[in-house]
Amino acid sequence: MTDISYHNHSRFSDGADSVDAMVQAAKAAGLAEFGLSDHWVFAPFRNPEAKTWSMAQEQLDKYVQEVCQARQKYCDDSFQLRLGIEVDFFPENAAQVVAALGDQPFDYIIGAVHYVDRFAVDHSAETWAPFTQAQVDDIWRQYWQRIRGLARSGLYDIVAHLDLPKKFAFYPSVELRDEEDAALAAIREADMIIEINTAGLDKPCDEPYPSLSLLQRARALDIPVIVSADAHRCANVKRNFPAAYELMARAGYDPDIRWHFKQRRREAGRNA
């Protein structure tokens, strides 16, 4: 089984373990390719909270250096380490934020939406609880608009956790199919990949990101998909992968297709 996971975090952002520890765990778990993609968040508003879970700008060179050093130590014929980063999308400054990455040798850039205006959709259930249902609906509506903007920016390779606002099981009460489909169409137009993010199975929503319905519509548009653990500690580098492959098959994808990234280019292969 050729397992690949590109969305993972170390202590450079909100992970619990070091780069070396995460890579060693991935190799021991039998992953054929493993990517680190620590958070890079620069909001267009004062946001001290993000500093607790995002890499500081001055850490970027050290992050790249440590991942590249780990690549030299641990890669062999059966294991490859990829250098990634997860960049938050804000429509006000997206191009400037990505430009601040400079000419670092990333294999892929993950685009993510964690904020709708100044509200962090995945921070806690307590921050959702005071909202009326109408406000919940509006957050979801704006979220999908931001995902559409993320795709249209052309700045990223992979879309992270596509329906993240469901994390704490706060769902819209209105039909948002038009907004969802517009976001998917933009992803297809941008020739991006989405992920089946298995972390959702360990959250109150109790399912991967995205839902089966969204994944089926992505398949109808021929949007490629990868599986990622979104691991923040060594124990989770391969969590819930069987469930993700089952979801792929239910949505109409071939669960034996694997997408590989290197130097911002991707190619498809088959499970060995």
Could you give the 3-state DSSP secondary structure of residue 111?
Answer: strand
| Ranges of each domain in the chain | 4-270
Helix axes 241-251, 212-220, angle to 10 degrees: 50
| pLDDT tens-digit profile, the chain (272 residues) | 689 999 999 999 999 999 999 999 999 999 999 999 999 999 999 888 877 889 998 999 999 999 999 999 999 999 999 999 999 999 999 999 999 999 999 999 999 999 999 999 999 999 999 999 999 999 999 999 999 999 999 999 999 999 999 999 999 999 999 999 999 999 999 999 999 999 999 999 999 999 999 999 999 999 999 999 999 999 999 999 999 999 999 999 999 999 999 999 999 998 86
Cα distance between residue 127 and residue 122, in whole Å? 9
- Cβ atoms 200, 209 nearer than 8 A: yes
| Domain 4-270 homologous superfamily, CATH | Metal-dependent hydrolases (3.20.20.140)
Taking Cα atoms as reference points, which of 266, 87, 115, 270 lies closest to residue 193? 266
Beta bridge partners of 159: 111, 194
If you search the block for the tokens 């250096």, which residue do you land on? Answer: 65
Confidence (pTM): 0.96
